[in-house]
Chain A
Amino acid sequence: DADVTQTPRNRITKTGKRIMLECSQTKGHDRMYWYRQDPGLGLRLIYYSFDVKDINKGEISDGYSVSRQAQAKFSLSLESAIPNQTALYFCATSGTGDNEKLFFGSGTQLSVL
């Protein structure tokens, strides 16, 4: 089983709909992240969380919200989806210490029509 699991893998929705993307991890990490990837733009950070009570905005948080339900679960919501939120979304986790690195899920491709 994957260490970082994202659901759904693909989602098509309409403008104005509320959408939730879910992420769960079995790595036991405290730190979790949501990124979006757009062709030719690389990855940009949306939100990150250092523990259940510590949530922070990233570079492009407008139009998004998050919920950290437990150490292992971190959800991303689009309250009212718009077409320019069409992108590939990644959840990631990281530990701490000298070997800290990001572990990514396989991504959720979201299309907003």
Chain B
Amino acid sequence: AQSVTQLGSHVSVSEGALVLLRCNYSSSVPPYLFWYVQYPNQGLQLLLKYTTGATLVKGINGFEAEFKKSETSFHLTKPSAHMSDAAEYFCAVSDLPPQGGSEKLVFGKGTKLTVNP
């Protein structure tokens, strides 16, 4: 069975600083990996996903994540934080491809990002 561990339930950065949100996964088969973001009082929305191919994945709002099989990691980064990035971020893993496997998504517990002026 798959699982996801997000290191750090709360991360605080200054505006303009690097954002690094950590995610490690466990999967017995090649994983499909996702990052979702939840802004205050909203539902989750997809930031980016890794399926196959290029291990560096670019998403919306300047975020990117790199799949590292040897480290079983899929950390989310953004070079320069903006106040509008303040939200909760969820890493998720599935053992089924995105086209037809959303019910198999396993979510991490979330990391709340605070951006200080």
Contacts and interface: CB of A to CB of B under 8 A. Distances in A.
Interface residues on A, range: 20 to 34
B61 interface: no
B45 interface: yes
A42 B2 CA distance: 15
B27 interface: no
B100 A100 contact: yes
Interface string A34-47: 00000011111100
B17 to A, nearest CB: 25
Interface residues of B, number: 21
B43 A4 contact: yes
Nearest to A31: B102
Contacts of B42: 104, 106-107
B103 A101 contact: no
Contacts of B99: 96-98, 100
A48 B36 CA distance: 19
Nearest to A109: B41
A33 B103 contact: yes
8 contacts: A40-B109, A90-B44, A92-B102, A98-B99, A99-B98, A100-B99, A104-B45, A106-B41
Interface of A: 4, 31, 33, 40-45, 48, 56, 58, 90, 92, 94, 96-107
Given A92-B44, A102-B44, A102-B102, 15 more contacts: A42-B110, A43-B44, A43-B90, A43-B107, A45-B105, A48-B102, A58-B103, A94-B102, A100-B102, A101-B98, A103-B45, A104-B43, A106-B41, A106-B42, A107-B43
